[in-house]
Amino acid sequence: MLEQFPDERELHERAQLYLNVCEREVGPKAKIPRTVNDRILAATVAVNQRRPDEAVSLLRGAASSHRTDDRLHYLLAIAHALRSDSDLAAKHLAKAIALNPDNRIQARQEPDFDVVRGSQPFIDALSGL
């Protein structure tokens, strides 16, 4: 079509648009993050874009195999808080604080915890109960 109708600018633009869509769909898909650091990065992006379910999915398996990584538990706490799940948010926050006490300071100022901040499980996690 591009060769048959060289003077049809609108047709060229539309054809190019469709070609771009086809190339994007045929091209390589986004890779599933494999390493812990890749999962943390992808989960951080998901949290920042307000996609907590995706963040939980990315981190759940990594947290069970890397139990001593406070970053995983802290991000899981944020993701669960964004889902308004104060119990799981508090559970992961308590674990993150136990692994790295600096997380307590961060959590006190983290706006993503605002939705669960007044819940008793969250208060208990921050106080170390």
Domains recognised in the chain with CATH numbers: 1-30 (no CATH), 36-127 (1.25.40.10)
In a structure prediction context, what are the per-residue pLDDT tens digits for the chain, which is 129 residues long?
667 777 877 777 777 777 777 877 776 656 777 788 888 999 999 999 999 999 999 998 776 677 889 999 999 999 999 999 999 999 999 999 999 999 999 999 999 999 999 999 999 999 986
pTM, rounded to two decimals: 0.73
Give the 3-state DSSP-derived string for the chain, with helices as H, strands as E and coil as C: CCCCCCCCHHHHHHHHHHHHHHHHHHCCCCCCCCCHHHHHHHHHHHHHCCCHHHHHHHHHHHHHHCCCCHHHHHHHHHHHHHCCCHHHHHHHHHHHHHHCCHHHHHHHHCHHHCCCCCCHHHHHHHHCC
